[in-house]
Amino acid sequence: MKPETKVKKIISALEKEFPDARIRLNHSSPFELLVATILSAQCTDERVNIVTKALFSKYKTSRDFANLKTQELEKMIFSTGYYKSKARHIIESAKIIEERFNGQVPSELESLLELPGVGRKTANVILSHSFNKPGIVVDTHVIRITNRLGLVKTKNPQKIEFQLMEIVPKDKWVVFTHLLIAHGRKYCTSRSPKCDLCPINSLCDYNQKLL
């Protein structure tokens, strides 16, 4: 089966299984999404949303965060883990946005990648959900599942992103990530995946090896 055909079958099956697959980080602006995405590293979306509810009630704009004391922000985001580096990255990014981008989160990939703590994953989240510029976000779920499915044979996130862009229809780039994340949480877990219950097990190289 051609990879393009396989991907379409996978997307079709997962869209039926997870019709509400979407971004789970609560936000009301590109900057809030930037902050939430930085906080989401090694942390659940549920925990991030609890933290940002209190955080965004007090601070909303890049100017607000640029003027924050590092220790103050650290206290508010402590429960997300890696709070020292996250606080530093958020405040430094806020200052750069204020000084170089007139207080507006940049809408170009190259500019976003200049912000501390922002890699291609975070940049693609922001471009896709704030600026309607579709991208494929490669997180741990996407790395694990695309390898198991046999769509890629690498753990390098950037290589996976570019390879998926060649076989996933562009109008499905954004939802593809959310479908795989939902699938990874329910069925294709890191340990002890539920292959017998998986709605796409017939399309999975990993499952076929188990038979």
Tell me the one-letter amino acid at 153: K
Report the C-alpha gap between 62 and 91 in whole angstroms. 8
User: How far apart, in Å, are the Cα atoms of 148 and each of 88, 104, 153?
Assistant: 36, 39, 9
Q: HSE on the CB side for 85, CA within 13 Å?
A: 9
The alpha carbon of 182 is separated from its chain's Cα centroid by a whole number of angstroms, namely 12
Compute how many other C-beta atoms are within 10 angstroms of the C-beta atom of residue 153.
11
| Residue labelled with tokens 């292959």 | 195
**DSSP state letter for 60:** -
Which residue out of 64, 139, 172, 186 is catalytically annotated? Answer: 139
- Cα distance between residue 19 and residue 13, in whole Å: 10
- Has 139 been annotated as catalytic? yes
Instruction: Reply yes or no on whether 95 is catalytic.
Output: no
Distances (CA, A) of 3 to 8, 106, 136, 164, 165: 9, 34, 16, 10, 12
As annotated, the active-site residues are 121, 139
